[in-house]
Structures are given as C-alpha cells and as structure tokens.
Chain A
Amino acid sequence: MVISHRQANAQRIAALDERAEALHLKRGMGIADARAMHPSIDIVEADPEADRRLLESLADWCDRYTPLVAIDATDGLFLDVTGCTHLFGGERSMLDDILSRFFHQGFDVRAGLAATPGAAWAAARFASDCIVPGGEEEALLAPLPLAALRIEPEIRASLESVGLRTAGAVMAAPRAPLARRFGVSLLLRLDQALGRLDEAVSPRLPVAPLSVERHLAEPIMLTDEIERLVKMLATTLKADLERRGEGARRLALLLFRVDGAVSRIAVGTSRPLREPLLIQKLFHERLAALEQDIDAGYGFDLVRLSVLSAAAFDMQQADLAGETRDDGADIALFADRIRARLGESAVLKPVAVDSHLPERAVAMLPFAEAPQRISPPKKPGKIQDTSSKPVFRPERPIRLFRSPEPIEVPATEMPEGPPMNFRWRRALYRVARAEGPERIAPEWWREAPGQEDAPTRDYFRIEDSDGRRYWLYRQGLYGASQAAPRWFMHGVFA
C-alpha cells in the first residue's frame, strides 16, 4: 500500500506501509518508477484534509490525558502532561495506556516522554517509547542524527557537509561559530531540546479554568445515565465554583467514546450558574436536541464537565418550581433551556433603536445578548417624555413583514394619493378609507458613498371594505424617474 501525492508535476510516494518498504520502495520515489518495479502495488491518492481531520479527532481524544494538546505539523501531537501523570499511575503506565489505547484503535504510534518538547519529539521519532528522565536530554540526543534536532533540511545538509553528523557533534562544537555560520535557529532548537530555553506548547483549545471528570469502568450508553453523571459532576463542580465565588457562563460536556470518538456538547447560560440540578436540566435539553447526532456506539468510558468561562456569582439561585424572589433568574433559566434545545437565537428580545426606518427601529437580539433592564419601569416619567416629544406621534402597525411584499396597485385616487384597490397575495382588496401619506426618507448617512439613493417611501394606512387595516407604501414618486413607483405591503394594524 502506497500513498501518492503530486509534487512538482509528478506523482510521488508520500507515505508507504511496512510491506511496501520491504519492497525497497522509498518516500519521494516517482509512482511511475514504483509501478515499473512492482506493478501490483496499491496506490491511494493522498488527502491532506482528511489526514488533518483525523489528527484533530485524535487530538480531541487525547484530551482525556491532559487539556493541553497541540498539533505538531502533519503527523504529531504534543501532550503537555505536567501534573497529569499521577492520575494515570505514573509516567510509565500513562505512556503504556496511551500506546495500548491507540493500538486498539488501529494506529501505529511512536511516543516519547521528556522534560522538554524538543527532547520528547526526538525520543518519539528516534528512540521509540522511551521516557527521558529530566536532565538526561543531552545523553539522549548525542547519538541521534541531526534530524532529531527539528532543524530545516538546508541547515542539516550544510552541517553534514562540514562533517557534523550527529546531534552530539553539534553540541560539542563551539557555539559562536555555529551561530555565525548556520544561523540562530539551530542554537535555538538545541537550547530548547536541552531545556536551556523554555518552549511553550500552544494548545489547540483554550484550557477550561475548571473541569471535573469521571473514568468509568463500564461504558455508559443511555442518555439518562449521562444526565445522572452530569449531575454528579456538577455537584463536584459546585464546590469548586463556590470556593472561587463564581458561576459558570459556558459549560462543555465531553463524552469520550470507547473507540476514540469524542463528542463535545456546550451550553451557555445567561446568568452565572452553579446549581447542579439546573446544570443537569440544561444538558437534558441539549442532549434531547442532539439525540440523533450523538452516537453512543459501544458507550462512553470517560465523561468530563468543564467550565469554559465563569463569571462572578452574586445572587441566590432559586428553585424552578414555585414562586421565587428573583423573577429574572427564572426567566433567564427558562431562556437558557430553550436556547440549549433550539439554538442560540430561539428566544429573542426586542430592543428599541433610534431610527425612523420602521424595520430598523426595533432590533431583535438573542436573549443572552440583550441588555438586562437595570432600572425599574418609571411610568410617570414615560408620560412626561412622550408629551415633551414632537406632538405628532406616528401610528405604527402591530405586525411588520420582514421583507415588504410587493402589491399591485392598478389605480390611485390621485397621482400621489392612496390606492383605490390593490392586489396582495393574489387577492383583490378594495380600499374603503385611507390615511396618509407619511413620508419616510432613507437614511442617507448610512449609505456607502457613491451608492445610489434609495427612493423615499410614502406610507398609507388603509382600511379595506371588510375593516382590516394595513400599512402600505409607495416607493418612489411618480414622474421622478423613468420607472413607475412600486407599491409594497409592510405591515398590518390591529
């Protein structure tokens, strides 16, 4: 089996398995040559995207060992296991666990464990499955070839041309000439591998400030069991949150399937939350909504609940049943549950915007983003406000169409007047009474320069012969341009 890829206009071998290697095929060899040597080889086109996805899913799975997982190039993973090894019974047993689990998933994995990323990288690639005790990086690296130093091929080639063929030889050489001749990056890599310089592994996912997990001897499959486990984890989490004086704003549930797939389920809350029962309720809705998408397969053997973001918690959370002192909390929780089930924008809150364009005058914001009302309603002030405003308060419909619907107007009373009848959604309406027009000009200060002005709208309140009241408008003016003005239905009145 050979994987081919296209390089410099020729199909070349990108990767190959052990049996192909035994046939003396090599990486970088032309596919045509390989076919000529062994016509029976199986050639598959490389798919870097799929490889990437696979590596990412493996990285997700490695989350079970440490939250700090980074992807290294196209074929490696860095796991920062500082402080995690004791959870798995020490370094050796952790490494064995990783290797055996990957083996059972069908992967052929090399692993190395060392105090620095550079040394671990070298250990994994050149000294399989070994643990390098701290301080012995030099001993490990010395006999290894230059490739173990993670340096660019050009530098490697020039080092080899001067006779430095192992990492040990480079380490023994004086530093100043090396830096002058081969650049700083060589010494940087060397120092990083030996632990003289710190190298940070940047994790692919932000590290959750708090997370609790449970390893299960017997994999679980049922949603009920997951929910019960969530409640147990949330109870543990509550103590941590209380100690920090915080509540969770975003929570993630990670379900590690036995065969390596990881499901990540996130819920957001409008208010800081720490009550286990409420957290369980949120996940109940989320799990119910995702029922089809989560494939339990052979079950989940590790469940982790993480707090992705937390906020200061300063109010008492009340029970969902029964009257509570804080009505807002109940509403927020209710909205959270709806959002968990139906998506972020399932609960909308209208917010008045200062604009005279009817469709812009009210913005619909998702509940969590809408500003929470701070001051209590001030009724008397409101009345005074309206009286001090312009005396003309325009009438607005109670329902507005999201996009105005075009209507046919065969004739109007006067060129600028209301229609006599109109056709909307294939039905003819006879206009009994009309009020208007109210002219609403476009907001020219919002338009991009050079853009043509949107035509003005003349709005009419219309009552048809059956007593229904509508809000129509004429876009444009008669005679202002070549095109005749168009009519639209924009809303209905009570």
Chain B
Amino acid sequence: MTPLDSSGALWNPREHNRNNCEWKLTVMATSAVARETVFALRRQIAKIEGTLPERLEVPAGAAPVDADVTPQDLTIVRRGLAVAPPDAFLRTGAEGLDTALSGGLPKAALSEIHGAATRDAGAVAGFTLSLVSLILKQWPRLPVLWIGTAEVFREAGFPYARGLHALFGIEPERLLFSEAPRLLDALWTAEEAARMTVLAAVILEIRGSPQRLDLTATRRLHTRAQSAGRPVFLLRQAGEPEPTAAPVRLVLSAAPSAPRETIAGPLAGSIGRPAFTVSIGKSRTALPGQFTLEWNPDERSFEERRAGQERAKNPVPVVSAPRRGKDPAAAAGAVLAFAAVGSPALGDQPSPSERATHRRPRRAG
C-alpha cells in the first residue's frame, strides 16, 4: 500500500459548511483525550490479534466514545482510526468479499471498478449494476445517473435498458444517462451529480488512463460523495491502476457461468447466470484476494462460488446427487476464499419455481 493510497487526510473542511465545521472541531477537542486513549487501546488489541485496527469489530452494545458524538461525526472521525457505523457499508452478500473488505463497500465514497480491457466492459458494468441494484433496495424511488464519455459508449456499447431491467430489476424510469463529448465535461457532470442526494448512485465510466483523472479530480468526487452520503462508482475500462482518492478498487473480469439449472440437473453447454471474478486491487483494510461471485437476477443477490463448494441451503431433493458431500456451511466461518479453479460448482439446484423448465434454452447443434 503506497502512502498515496491512504485516504487518511481526505476530509476537506472547505467542502463543509464553516459553522458546522467549527462545531465539530469543538466536539473533537473536548473528547480528544478520551478518544486518544481508546485508539491507543485499539491499536494494542489489533497488534496482539495481528490485524489492522480498522478491522476490529465494534463490541455489541458499546456506547460511542462520546455521548454527544452523533454517528455522522463518527464517520468523519473514522479517519482517525475510529470504527465506522455498520450501515456505512454496502454488503454485497458474498461473505468472503464482505469479510475481506471489512463489511462491504463503503456507501458514501468513491469506489473504483476496473476492467483490464475494453472487452471486459460487460463484466465491469454488470458487477456495478448489481451493486446499484442492491443500493436500490434501500432507495427504491431514486434514479441512477450513468455518465460516460462518448468514446467509452462507442467502444464498449451503450447501456441497454431492457437488459438492465431484466437482469438487475432497474426500471428504465429509474435510469438517466449523460453522454459527454469530452472527459472534462463528464467529470464536471459527475462532480455536480455526486453532491445530489436525490440520486441513488452515480456511475462515471471512462476509458483508458487520462491525465485529467488524477488524485485531485478523484478526491473532489470522493469528498462530494462522502458529504452527500451516496456512492459514486468510477468505472475504468482498460485503465492502469493509478493513485486515486478512492478507498477501494476492485478489478473485475468475467468468469465462466454455471450451466442453467433444470429440473433434470444442469443443462450441459448452456449459459446460466452472470458470474464475475472480483479481485481487490486496493483497500485500506483488505488483503489482496480474488473471489468469484454469481449474480442471481431473480433474488437480486450475490452468491459466492467457491472451489468445490456445494450449497446446502437448497431443500429440494435432487434425483442424482453423487457430488453432494457434507454441509460445508458449518465450517464456513474460518474458510478463506481463493480463486475458483477447476470446474465450477455444479451442485446448485434451485427450486423448480425458481428456474422453470420453460426457460430452458434451445440449444443449437
């Protein structure tokens, strides 16, 4: 982790209302001594446990350091090693990824989502939209703004509202697109949009590694996202990992999908639900890791796919279940996820209502 990666000093008082800022500073001053003690203790515990102080869980029922401090203040003070409130994170629902990111993706922040090449645009956009779909569960009535440069929409394809509705449940009415001829215009639009609280999420998509998108530009986006409390996703197609103000960077690529499930077992040669390989490119708290997630369009949730893992949650008895082993869920607490190698999990058997026979695709050849 480079020093630039740390987002420790990113809170910019100028972005905030001056009165507000002074008030917060007073609060911090009165309780500074008490907090210092707590931080020192946390550091000690973290050292003993061999982890980072941020990854420590808040003890259940623990009162905040100061009774006067609202959770909002705490989020800001978090930069000084306090612990964020649990609802500050967007839980993906994939345990391995959530644990690695110590709770999920930060909700009020800029998050970078990279694709190695433009041809990965489908996976990058798909993963981001599934996150948006999760966010929309919280704010179902707010629209989502997708900003892109003309170049990226030409090279990677324009988002197709029909597909988005079918796969992620995002209605066309909830979508707004902005196509900017130049990167500068796209950045300006994104900055304006990032401070809107009436948007559920802002997606900014660019291609390559332009100079304009430097630490300053991303910091402006990040600060605005923080104060608005809404996520900004920075999608970068074919971009190099560069120092940015985003606390988290995920690198996406497509994963082979599992075959479609039918009542008679997996249909060989068919293409099932979308699957993504997510690797953590940068995070303050997480160790680098790689996860394979599968998006369930019907439930609008992620499922994590692990090597050789079979899920036991499916109560439907399966006719032939030679591969079904013991229930791994009991021991799952300590299992660390690794890249899915070898054959994908074939044991998934959703209920017939979930995956009816009439949805079986016609196979060619």
Contacts of B180 in A (CB 8 A): 342, 346
Considering the complex, give the chain B residue whose CB is closest to the CB of A396: B163
B166 contacts A by Cβ under 8 Å = yes
* Minimum C-beta distance from A321 to chain B (A): 9
Would A351 and B172 count as touching, CB distance under 8 A?
Answer: yes
A395-B166, A399-B125, A418-B364 as given contacts; A334 in contact with B193, CB under 8 Å? yes
Would B257 and A469 count as touching, CB distance under 8 A?
Answer: yes
B167 contacts A by Cβ under 8 Å = yes
* Minimum C-beta distance from B235 to chain A (A): 12
Contacts of B127 in A (CB 8 A): 494
B254 contacts A by Cβ under 8 Å = yes
CB within 8 A of A347: which of B126, B178, B295?
B178
Chain A positions 231-264 with a Cβ under 8 Å from a chain B Cβ: none
Considering the complex, give the chain B residue whose CB is closest to the CB of A362: B161
Would B365 and A323 count as touching, CB distance under 8 A?
Answer: no
A334-B193, A337-B192, A399-B158 as given contacts; A392 in contact with B126, CB under 8 Å? no
A342-B185, A348-B179, A364-B177 as given contacts; A398 in contact with B358, CB under 8 Å? no
Contacts of B153 in A (CB 8 A): 402
Would B256 and A347 count as touching, CB distance under 8 A?
Answer: no
Would A362 and B172 count as touching, CB distance under 8 A?
Answer: yes
B142 contacts A by Cβ under 8 Å = yes
Chain A positions 289-334 with a Cβ under 8 Å from a chain B Cβ: 322-324, 327, 330-331, 334
Would B172 and A469 count as touching, CB distance under 8 A?
Answer: no
Would A400 and B192 count as touching, CB distance under 8 A?
Answer: no
Would B271 and A468 count as touching, CB distance under 8 A?
Answer: no
Would B162 and A352 count as touching, CB distance under 8 A?
Answer: yes
A347-B178, A494-B129 as given contacts; A400 in contact with B189, CB under 8 Å? no
Would A399 and B364 count as touching, CB distance under 8 A?
Answer: no
How distant is the Cα of A327 from the Cα of B140 in the complex, in angstroms?
A: 13
A135 contacts B by Cβ under 8 Å = no
* Minimum C-beta distance from B362 to chain A (A): 7
How distant is the Cα of A281 from the Cα of B95 in the complex, in angstroms?
A: 46
Stretch at the interface among A31-39, A152-160, A459-467: A459-467
Chain B positions 165-217 with a Cβ under 8 Å from a chain A Cβ: 166-168, 171-173, 175-181, 185, 188-189, 192-193, 196-199
CB within 8 A of A435: which of B166, B256, B361?
B361
A347-B178, A463-B256, A494-B295 as given contacts; A435 in contact with B159, CB under 8 Å? no
Considering the complex, give the chain B residue whose CB is closest to the CB of A402: B158
Interface centre among A331, A361, A399, A494 (most CB of B within 10 A): A494
B77 contacts A by Cβ under 8 Å = no
Stretch at the interface among A8-16, A74-82, A409-417, A448-456: A409-417
Chain A positions 383-422 with a Cβ under 8 Å from a chain B Cβ: 391-393, 395-402, 413-414, 416-418
CB within 8 A of B162: which of A334, A361, A416, A492?
A361
Contacts of B121 in A (CB 8 A): 399, 492
A466-B254, A493-B163 as given contacts; A417 in contact with B129, CB under 8 Å? no
Would B163 and A397 count as touching, CB distance under 8 A?
Answer: yes
- On chain A, which size bracket covers the interface? 35 or more
Considering the complex, give the chain A residue whose CB is closest to the CB of B139: A327
Number of interface residues of B (CB under 8 A): 67
* Minimum C-beta distance from B293 to chain A (A): 11
Contacts of A460 in B (CB 8 A): 364
Contacts of B175 in A (CB 8 A): 349-350
* Minimum C-beta distance from B40 to chain A (A): 38
* Minimum C-beta distance from B132 to chain A (A): 12
Considering the complex, give the chain A residue whose CB is closest to the CB of B273: A494
B160 contacts A by Cβ under 8 Å = yes
Would A435 and B362 count as touching, CB distance under 8 A?
Answer: yes
A435-B270, A494-B129 as given contacts; A341 in contact with B188, CB under 8 Å? yes
Would A399 and B159 count as touching, CB distance under 8 A?
Answer: yes
* Minimum C-beta distance from B236 to chain A (A): 16
How distant is the Cα of A391 from the Cα of B358 in the complex, in angstroms?
A: 7
How distant is the Cα of A330 from the Cα of B228 in the complex, in angstroms?
A: 14
A350-B175, A350-B177, A352-B161 as given contacts; A467 in contact with B364, CB under 8 Å? no
Contacts of A58 in B (CB 8 A): none
Contacts of A349 in B (CB 8 A): 172-173, 175-177
Interface residues of B (CB under 8 A from A): 119-123, 125-127, 129-130, 140-143, 153-154, 156-164, 166-168, 171-173, 175-181, 185, 188-189, 192-193, 196-199, 253-257, 269-271, 274-277, 295, 358-359, 361-365
A-B contact pairs, 12 of them (CB 8 A): A324-B198, A330-B198, A331-B196, A334-B193, A346-B179, A348-B178, A364-B177, A397-B160, A398-B125, A463-B257, A468-B120, A494-B123
Q: 8 tightest A-B contacts by CB?
A: A494-B126, A399-B157, A492-B122, A350-B161, A494-B274, A467-B256, A396-B163, A400-B160
